[in-house]
Amino acid sequence: MTAEPGATPGPGGPAVPPGREEGKRRAAEAAALLVGDRMRVGLGTGSTVAYLLPALARRKLRIVCVATSPRTGRAAVRLGLNVQPFDRSAPARLDLAVDGADQVDRAGWLVKGGGGAHTREKIVAAAADRFVVIVDGRKLVPAVRAPLPVELLDFGLPATLAAVQAAAGPVRLRPGGRTPDGGLLADCGGPLGDPATLAAALDAVPGVVGHGLFPPSMVSEVLVGDDEGCRTLRPGG
Ligand code: 5RP
């Protein structure tokens, strides 16, 4: 990602314009206030979530967190949050999950996975009773568009790439892009067309581990931060 003029670094993230940082911070801090004592909380990944973690740590709640990436897990532990593995020893449900997004369209479809964590992020979002998305205002788009991240298996890759390309346009593998689960990261060049149709088509390709389209039905609310403050959008509401 290239830095825009006047950019400032986020907390551990890439350089972005100052107003954008403020929007991310406001959305993240509003989400931290939604967390209650003793909750089980899913933590997303990215530069917006990087503002959530200290806001959550400052509240000194007795919560148990699961992290969608090693990066988030390490940052949360450094701040004193209790992070547990989301493995077979863990309860199946979470009270709340909070995560960023690359795009949010008018109907509430998300594109996620800019950070390559979309498969774990979708598992955590689907396991949560409430999934809250935190974005700055520039993430709002009329309709989702490329690039669309996907995670693929190595086995059968040529067949998988051909099927994904037929559904979502040219596919570019991310150089060195591997998830902690061993998947290959790639981005589809679109056009994306109707997100529900595309999501179903990608779900039907056996070698696709996960894709970055998250349906509105998964999203409880979207907190949108900007220079003015923070507002709440509810898909379908
Ligand atoms: C990572 C994600 C992120 O939530 C998404 O890329 C947004 O990141 P940021 O808050 O840095 O803009 O999906 O896989």
One-letter amino acid at 19 equals: G
Query: Would you state the pLDDT for residue 117?
Result: 98
Determine the pLDDT at residue 19.
75
pLDDT at 1: 24
Q: Is 6 left (phi over 0), alpha (psi -120 to 50) or beta?
A: left
Q: Is 121 a catalytic residue?
A: yes
pLDDT for position 8 = 37
d(CA 118, CA 124): 10
Query: How many whole angstroms from 85 Cα to the centroid of ligand 1?
Result: 21
From the candidates 21, 22, 29, 121, give the one annotated as an active-site residue. 121
Which helix (H) or strand (E) is 213 found in, with range?
Answer: strand 213-214
Q: How far is the CA of 45 from the centre of ligand 1 (A)?
A: 6
Name residues of the chain where pLDDT drops below 70: 1-18, 236-237
| pLDDT number for residue 5 | 29
- Whether 224 contacts 19, CB under 8 Å: no
Q: What pLDDT does 10 receive?
A: 44
pLDDT value at position 126? 98
- 230 phi and psi angles, rounded to 5 deg: -140, 130
What is the structure's pLDDT at 188? 98
**What is residue 16's predicted lDDT score, i.e. its pLDDT?**
52
How far does Cα 18 stand from its chain's mean position?
21
Task: Report the nearest atom of ligand 1 relative to the CA of 14.
Answer: 11
Find where tokens 């067309």 sit. 193
3-state secondary structure 161-187: HHHHHHHHCCEEEEEEEECCCCCEEEE
pLDDT at res. 15: 52
What is residue 235's DSSP assignment?
T
What confidence score (pLDDT) does residue 9 get? 41
Residue with the smallest CA separation from ligand 1 atom 2 is 113
Residue listed under structure tokens 């009773």: 129
Tell me how far apart the alpha carbons of residues 158 and 149 are, in angstroms, rounded to a whole number: 17
